[in-house]
Amino acid sequence: MNMIDRRFRQAGGEGVETIVNGGRLVCDPSGIVFSPDLGLLIVSDLHLEKGAAFARRGMMLPPYDTAATLALLDAALARYAPIHVVALGDSFHDRHGAALMPAPFRERLAGLVAGRRWTWISGNHDPEPPAGLSGEVAEEIALGPWLLRHEPSPHARAGEIAGHLHPVARVSGRGRSVRGACFATDGSRMVMPSFGVTTGGLNVLDRAFDGLFARERAKALVIGTTRIYPIPFGALSA
């Protein structure tokens, strides 16, 4: 099973509820979180047009990433029918992605944005507003008990939900190990997995995560083939 097929299979799986800073969230195996109380869907690190960005630099990747990522996003929006969507930055792989996006992809994305409030959070890959697309642009936004931003900060207040680090977790046992994307949280804050289908990941035990979570409460909500598995950081492998 290739990565894209696996992602589509996972997206039909069962989500799990968790609490972040007192607010209820559904972690969906597609890689989004949804607040039923606010009608809010949060997605991070779409990295649309990554293949095209690499091609402009002379490195050829299969040109299917944008179509597959948009299809997964479309399915998540249909599943939850959110009132407000917040994209937590790096929605495009580089600052030219929105402007150079082929018309069919642009039209599909514009259709997803239309009819609901949509907030683009600025990322390190796409610090400027996405050219030709509607929606508001912000460095960060406070909604309910949460502060939504791109890069997590060890000094941020409780309730921060961020992306950027593309968290993954490794579980070892019985002579084998399994690695999967995950939501990382200690109940006070969360780092979300990358949604883009061709993005890599960083182990939650990497030093980049140091200081973000209270280790005794930290857990990885690991996205499996058909469900999400909550696993304490102490049970994970580097």
pLDDT over 70 for what percent of the chain?
Answer: 94
Supply the pTM of this predicted model: 0.94
Whether 55 has a pLDDT exceeding 80, the answer reads: no
Task: Please give the pLDDT value at position 160.
Answer: 98
CATH number for the domain running over 3-235: 3.60.21
Whether 59 has a pLDDT exceeding 90, the answer reads: no
Strand 219-223, strand 228-232: pairing: antiparallel
Amino acid at 121: I
Q: Which residues contact 227 (CB under 8 A, 6 or more apart)?
A: 13, 14, 16, 29
pLDDT tens for 63-120 read 689 999 999 999 999 999 999 999 999 999 888 878 889 999 999 999 999 999 999 9
pLDDT tens for 184-223 read 999 999 999 999 998 889 999 999 999 999 999 999 999 9
For 127, other C-beta atoms within 10 Å of its C-beta total 12
Helix (H) or strand (E) holding 189: none
- Residue 209 contacts residue 167 (beta carbons within 8 Å): yes
Q: Where are the domains of the chain?
A: 3-235
Whether 230 has a pLDDT exceeding 90, the answer reads: yes
Q: For 14-166, where are the alpha helices, taking DSSP H only?
A: 50-56, 65-80, 97-100, 103-113
Task: Please give the pLDDT value at position 141.
Answer: 98
